Structure 1
Amino acid sequence: MKKILLSSALCTALVYGAEILPVEKRTFDQSKFIPDISLIMDASYVDRNVKDTHVGHLEVPGIAHGLIGSHSHGDDNHATYNANNGFNLNYAELVLSSSVDPFFTMDGVFHFSENGVEIEELFFTSNALGYGTKVKGGKFNSNFGYLNEQHHHAWDFADMPLVYEAFLGMHGINEVGAQIQWTAPTPFYLMAGFEILQGENEQMFGKETVDLTVINPAANPDTVEGNDGASLYVGYIKASHDIGSTTLLGGISYAQGESRIDHSQDEEGPHVFSGDAKLYGADFVLLHALDSYSSIKWQSEYLQRELDGTQYANNTLGNFVSPLIVKKQGGLYSQLIYTHDKNWKIGVRYDTILKNDVTKAGLDVEQPDNLDKYTAMIEYHTSEFARFRLQYSQDYAMFNEDGEREKINTIILQANISIGAHAAHSF
Structure 2
Amino acid sequence: MGGGIRTSVKGYLLSQRITMASDTVHENESTNRNFTASLAADTERKTRMDLDSTNSYRFSRFSGGIRCLPILSFASKSRDSNGTRIRAESLPYRVPSNPRTDVEILLKSFFYNELKAATRNFRPDTLLGEGGFGPVYKGWIDQNPLAASEPGTGMAVAIKRLDQDSMQGREEWSKEVYYLGQLRHPNLVKLIGYCSEDNELLLVYEFVPRGSLENHLFRGSSNFEVEPLSWNARMKIALGAAKALTFLHNEALLIFRDFKTSNILLDSTYNVKLSDFGLAVDGRSIRHPGAKTKVIMGTYGYAAPEYIATGRLTTKCDVYGFGVVMLELLSGKLVFDKNRPPGEQNLVEWAKPYLVRKHRVLQIFDARIKGQFSVASALKAVDLAFLCLSRNPKLRPNMKNVVKALEKLQQSCNMDDLRISQDKPCQNAQASSRNGPN
TM-score per shorter chain, which class? under 0.3
Greater fraction of residues in strand:
1
If you compute each CA radius of gyration, which structure gives the higher value, 1 or 2?
1
TM-score (norm 2): 0.24
| Bigger relative contact order (CA 8 A; separation at least 6) | 2
More helix by share: 2
